[in-house]
Amino acid sequence: MSGWEKMKNEKILVLVPAYNEAENIRGVILDVQKNLGRVDILVVNDGSTDNTLTQVRKTKAIVLNLSQNLGIGGSVQAGLLYAVENDYDLVLRLDGDGQHRAEDLRKLKEKLQKSKLDVLIGSRFRSHHNFKFGFFRKIGIRYFSWLVSALTHHQILDPTSGLQAINRPALQFLAKNYPQDYPEVEAVLILSLAGFKIGEMAAKMKERSGGTSSISWRKSIYYMLKVTLAILVNLIRNKPKRS
């Protein structure tokens, strides 16, 4: 089988975790359909209290409706478990707030399929697009970039990004070991420590078109402290191994 035929025959799932994104979620789904064609889209509705579920059901996306809010870690892990149980070869992840572009997701897919990487991250800091971050959020991202890069000896500029392409070995690993609460940084670390190859590609990010972000300055500080502690614990305990 040629490389191109293998790419076409891969079973791909687009994973969209969403919490109270009624204003944005249909636009996200339509953007994915426009850029990726007839690909399976799974929206994990993380116990939303608004009309997110109603909006998803107006589309052809698959919906996994969680009865209570598990947080981003729990909702992403639920989606990864769904992908493993349904034999998907590749998971493409983007957030449900409309800030990621499905065009970049398509580029991530194409680059990962042609590379020897296991995970490819859409990085806002490898792009010339000047997206505006809040002060504490920007400091937090820069801090975690330094910390993860120092611990893994591999430069990762945007370890908090939710725009990712994940191959089957990595998604099988993450389905069993995905961190909770604010998981992206810790996930990058445990993947690297387990021997998976991670890369980044430039990606743009749009301003939120509706709704409000759940990340306040207090949560940013809490996030930095909690994730730092989780990372230190990961370095001390027995590390999950690649099967």
pLDDT digits (tens, 9 = 90+) for 73-107: 999 999 999 999 999 999 999 999 999 999 999 99
% of the chain at pLDDT higher than 70: 84
Q: What is the mean pLDDT of residues 125-143?
A: 69
Q: Which pair of structure tokens corresponds to residue 136?
A: 């504490």
pLDDT given at position 53: 97
Handedness of CA 72, 192, 99, 39 (dihedral sign): negative
Q: Does a structural domain hold residue 241?
A: no
Higher pLDDT, 200 or 235: 200
Domain that holds residue 47: 3-236
Q: What is the mean pLDDT of residues 137-159?
A: 84
CATH number at residue 74: 3.90.550.10
Q: Which pair of structure tokens corresponds to residue 151?
A: 């611990």
Q: Does a structural domain hold residue 103?
A: yes
Going from the C-alpha of 23 to that of each of 10, 55, 168, the distances in angstroms are: 32, 9, 32
- Give the model confidence (pLDDT) of 154-201 as tens digits: 889 998 899 999 999 999 999 999 988 778 888 998 999 899 999 999
Of 54-63, 149-158, 226-235, the poorest mean pLDDT is in: 226-235
Question: Which pTM was predicted?
Answer: 0.85
With cut-offs at 50, 70 and 90, classify the pLDDT of residue 209: low
Q: Does a structural domain hold residue 242?
A: no
Length of the chain measured in residues: 243
Closest CA to 221 of 140, 158, 135, 161: 140
Q: Does a structural domain hold residue 243?
A: no
Gap between the Cα atoms of 103 and 61, Å rounded: 18
- Which helix (DSSP H) or strand (DSSP E) does residue 92 occupy? strand 90-93
Q: Does a structural domain hold residue 223?
A: yes
Q: Does a structural domain hold residue 90?
A: yes
Closest CA to 6 of 125, 89, 94, 121: 89
- Which helix (DSSP H) or strand (DSSP E) does residue 216 occupy? none
As for how many domains the chain has, the answer is 1
Q: Does a structural domain hold residue 75?
A: yes
Q: Does a structural domain hold residue 151?
A: yes
- Give the model confidence (pLDDT) of 17-48 as tens digits: 999 999 999 999 999 999 999 899 999 999 99
Q: What is the mean pLDDT of residues 127-145?
A: 70
